[in-house]
C-alpha cells in the first residue's frame, strides 16, 4: 500500500514538474504580440454578371499578423485566401468567393429566365512578386451550388508607397469554361420562349472579360487606414454577345469600393 502511494506521489510530482514542458510546445507558436486588423467594406457592383445596375453590399473583414510584421499588400478585389506557402515573394494557398443569387423575381428584365442560387467558388491562388513594386496573381475556382463552372482570374499590380499613401492598380483578365458561361450567360430555348424577348444562346468557354483596377490607401495613424478603389471590366467574346447583355444589360461592368480598417494589439502569454 505504501509503495503504491509512493508511486502515485512520484507520478504526480513528475506531472507537476513536466507539465509546463509539455504545454510550452503547444502554446509557444501562438505566444507573443499580435496585430489584429478589423475591416468594414462597402462595395457597389453589378447586380448580376452583365447587369447595367449596381447593388450595394457591406461585408466585414479580418486579418491577423505578428506585431512588427509589415502589412502585406492585398488588392481590394482579391478573393479571400490563406497562404499555405509564404516566402514573401511567393504565396500559394486556397481561395474562395461568395456569389449572391440571381433571382429573376427581383429583376423584371430577366422575366422567363431561370434563377441562379448563391454560389461558393473555391479553389487555389498563386501570387508572385516579380520586383519590389510588381505583383502577379492567378486565382482559379470551381463553383458549388448555384453554378458548377470553372473560373480563372489573372491580375497584375503596380504597388507604390508615397509616405502615408499607398497607390496600386493594374490590368485584370477573367476566363470561364462553357459550364459557367452556359449557366450565367446562356439562354435555353424554353427560357427564350418564356421571355419573349431574348433569343436562345449557348455560349462556349474562353475569355470572359478584361479590365483595370485602381486603389488608394491612406494611413491616418498606426491603427487606422482607409482605402477607396474602383474597377472597370469589359465583357468580351461570348459573354458580351449574350442576350442577357445585349438586350437588357451592358458589357461595361463597374465596381466601386471603400474600406475602413482598425488595428489593435493583442498579446498571448
Name residues of the chain where pLDDT drops below 50: 1-24, 26-27
C-alpha cell at 98: 461568395
pLDDT tens string 96-109: 999 999 999 999 99
Using a 10 angstrom Cβ sphere, with 0-12 exposed, 13-18 middle and 19 or more buried, the burial of residue 230 is middle
- pLDDT in the model for residue 35: 83
- pLDDT in the model for residue 68: 74
> Which residues is 53 bridged to in the sheet?
none
Are the beta carbons of 205 and 180 closer than 8 angstroms? yes
User: Which pTM was predicted?
Assistant: 0.85
Instruction: Determine the longest span between alpha carbons in the chain, in angstroms.
Output: 94
Q: Give the CA dihedral 143, 148, 149, 152, nearest 10 degrees.
A: 10
Amino acid at each position: 500500500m505504501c509503495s503504491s502511494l509512493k508511486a502515485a506521489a512520484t507520478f504526480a510530482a513528475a506531472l507537476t514538474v513536466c507539465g509546463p514542458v509539455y504545454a510550452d510546445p503547444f502554446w509557444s507558436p501562438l505566444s507573443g504580440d499580435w496585430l489584429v486588423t478589423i475591416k468594414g467594406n462597402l462595395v457597389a457592383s453589378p447586380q448580376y454578371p452583365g447587369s447595367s445596375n449596381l447593388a450595394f453590399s457591406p461585408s466585414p473583414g479580418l486579418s491577423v499578423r505578428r506585431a512588427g510584421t509589415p502589412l502585406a499588400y492585398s488588392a481590394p478585389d482579391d478573393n479571400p485566401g490563406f497562404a499555405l506557402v509564404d516566402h514573401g515573394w511567393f504565396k500559394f494557398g486556397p481561395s474562395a468567393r461568395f456569389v449572391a443569387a440571381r433571382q429573376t423575381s427581383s429583376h423584371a428584365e430577366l422575366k422567363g429566365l431561370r434563377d441562379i442560387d448563391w454560389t461558393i467558388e473555391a479553389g487555389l491562388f498563386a501570387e508572385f512578386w516579380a520586383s519590389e513594386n510588381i505583383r502577379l496573381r492567378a486565382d482559379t475556382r470551381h463553383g458549388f451550388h448555384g453554378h458548377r463552372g470553372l473560373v480563372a482570374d489573372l491580375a497584375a499590380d503596380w504597388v507604390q508607397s508615397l509616405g502615408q499613401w499607398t497607390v496600386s492598380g493594374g490590368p485584370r483578365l477573367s476566363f470561364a469554361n462553357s459550364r459557367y458561361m452556359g449557366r450565367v450567360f446562356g439562354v435555353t430555348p424554353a427560357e427564350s420562349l418564356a421571355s419573349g424577348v431574348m433569343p436562345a444562346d449557348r455560349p462556349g468557354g474562353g475569355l470572359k472579360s478584361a479590365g483595370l483596377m485602381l486603389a488608394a490607401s491612406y494611413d491616418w495613424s498606426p491603427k487606422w487606414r482607409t482605402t477607396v478603389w474602383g474597377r472597370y471590366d469589359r465583357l468580351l467574346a461570348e459573354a458580351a454577345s449574350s442576350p442577357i447583355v445585349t438586350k437588357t444589360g451592358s458589357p461595361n461592368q463597374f465596381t466601386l469600393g471603400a474600406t475602413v480598417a482598425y488595428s489593435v494589439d493583442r498579446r498571448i502569454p
